[in-house]
Chain A
Amino acid sequence: MIKVENLRRTFGPKVAVDGISFEVERGEVLGFLGPNGAGKSTTMRMITGFLTPCSGKISIGGFDVQENPIASKKLVGYLPENAPSYTDMTVQGFLGFTAELRGYRGSEKLKRVNRVLEMCFLEPVRHQSIETLSKGYKHRTCFAQSIIHDPDVLILDEPTDGLDPNQKFEVRNLIRRMGEKKAIIFSTHILEEVEAVCSKAMIIDRGRVIANGTPEELKMRSQRAGAVSLKVEKVSGESLKSELAKLSTAERVVIEDETETRTSALVVPKQKTMNGDFAKSIYNIATQAGWKIEQINTEAGKLDEVFREITMPDTVEMTEPKA
């Protein structure tokens, strides 16, 4: 549905987007991650036709965004960053206006407006002026506008920004459900959100894609992923280290915490696997040595670690034992 090739955009001397390419098919939800100023919003503004790319091609549902803007815009619902809306209108008036721009009139328009009012839990405020709404309600009003025509493509720039935890949950569910039939791109700074709703994720930094894949694949890139964390009772860090050094598949052992009653360690394998063999071999050593195991598990890795590791490679090192 969405095809982006070698997209580039500069603002004066500043390169905001530097050769981004990707594809999103119907049924996929792509999450954009990246530090502030990475170029996420700029990329979305080009896909929706608000900004013109300096070079590169974007097509939506087969229509080139530059050559056939109206046809491609018809397929897209867009929630811009900061959820702008005409603050002097009522919620219903605003949604009616966007429905009219989408070509609905009369009872069809009313039906569309009512449907999104219900979907976005806006019924209690439908006659209220947008100016007087709280931030979360304003955000939902703009979100409602983006789905009023039940578009095939949804571009959502930080859709859960400013929502309370319940609403975040609802919106994520909504995105996941809609993602089954639509092609969705959304950006977020909340990494759990990516795991909760995305089928693919992309990390952008300084205008370039620096990592992409499924959330699981990305998590595997974490230095922690595949390592086994182990908690044993009443064994000193030293003896734990020397026993585990016998393991030929282990690269190193990091003692993360040591108290009189308990020692926790992280055992990093030479080869990352998630199948549990490595944990099993550690378990064997532990039982042979007669340790009392409190906890043992293979780390899945965390997206926020991956995020930090690849966007700030110089500052992140795996936690070393405290002296």
Chain B
Amino acid sequence: MNKESFANIATVAKRELTGYFSSPVAYVVIIIFLLLTGFFTFMVGRFFDTGEASLAPFFIWHPWLYLFLVPAVGMRLWSEERRLGTIELLLTMPITTWQAIVGKFVASWAFLTLALMLTFPLVLTVAYLGNPDLGVIFCGYIGSFLLAGSYLAVSSMTSAMTRNQVISFIVSVVACLFLILAGWPPVTNMLVEWAPSWLVEGVASLSVMPHFDDIQRGLLDSSDVFYFLSVIVFCLFTTGVLIRSERGG
């Protein structure tokens, strides 16, 4: 990667990010995210009753919260470009498709990260109330960050399939749900009945849950990080293939 590709990615990302903030979507998503995390952490997760100084009741909901919030952010990535016709403008600029995909992805990831960072008062609260393991909390944030990136890459992929944002959203939610459920015991048990064990294990290994749980518990293992990064790379690569296939014959 040279200076020019960085500059192009940065330009695309900057535009995308300002695009988020010039529409109400950004504020709505951030507010809903904060309200819901608050609700689940305090009301459902009974944060104060656990008597532990940890953010586990906070992070545990993230795979489910992101299930709807991340596709809501990611659904417009390429659908909107296609609907407006600006994809024709963007891809005839002297940048590569790859740079455009990464630039747009990085911008929306940065946006989600911002939403995530706005939950910092929680950290202050536990630090004030007790004596939490800050390393575990840090890992929790890293895990949540990677999880958001993975879902977002899935959304990027589904938004490249269609110009309709609603369809893009629904397909993306279903795909992310698959990533959650693939390793969920009721689903694996169902598969065990008839599928060969390599398939069961293969499907289960696609799941985000074991990896997310590991990181959340404070085990920042390189294989877990590798898992998330490969989901991202795979989905972004597929986004490129989808965009190229539409342009090709």
Contacts and interface: CB of A to CB of B under 8 A. Distances in A.
Contacts of B84: 84-87
A73 B88 contact: no
Contacts of B96: 69-70
B51 interface: no
B23 A88 contact: yes
Contacts of A52: 244, 247-249
B88 A80 contact: yes
Interface string A167-201: 00000000000000000000000000000000000
A82 B22 contact: no
B202 interface: no
Interface stretch (A31-39, A96-104, A241-249, A268-276): A96-104
B159 to A, nearest CB: 16
A88 B19 contact: yes
A100 B88 CA distance: 17
Contact of B8 (A50, A78, A84, A101): A101
B247 A78 contact: no
A51 interface: yes
What secondary structure prevails in chain B residues at the interface with A? helix
Contact of A101 (B22, B23, B94, B247): B94
Interface string B12-41: 100100110011000000000000000000
A9 interface: yes
Contact of B249 (A54, A73, A84, A89): A54
B94 A88 contact: no
Interface residues of A, number: 35
A254 to B, nearest CB: 48
Contact of B94 (A54, A74, A142): A74
Interface residues of B, number: 25
A48 interface: yes
B92 A73 contact: yes
B11 A78 contact: no
Contacts of A45: 88
A53 B244 CA distance: 12
A145 interface: yes
Given A52-B248, A52-B249, A54-B249, A86 B94 contact: no
A70 B92 CA distance: 9
Contact of B11 (A48, A49, A97): A97
Contacts of A74: 94
Nearest to B12: A101
The 5 tightest CB contacts between A and B, nearest first, are: A84-B85, A54-B249, A52-B248, A73-B94, A48-B92
Interface of B: 4, 7-8, 11-12, 15, 18-19, 22-23, 84-86, 88-89, 91-96, 244, 247-249
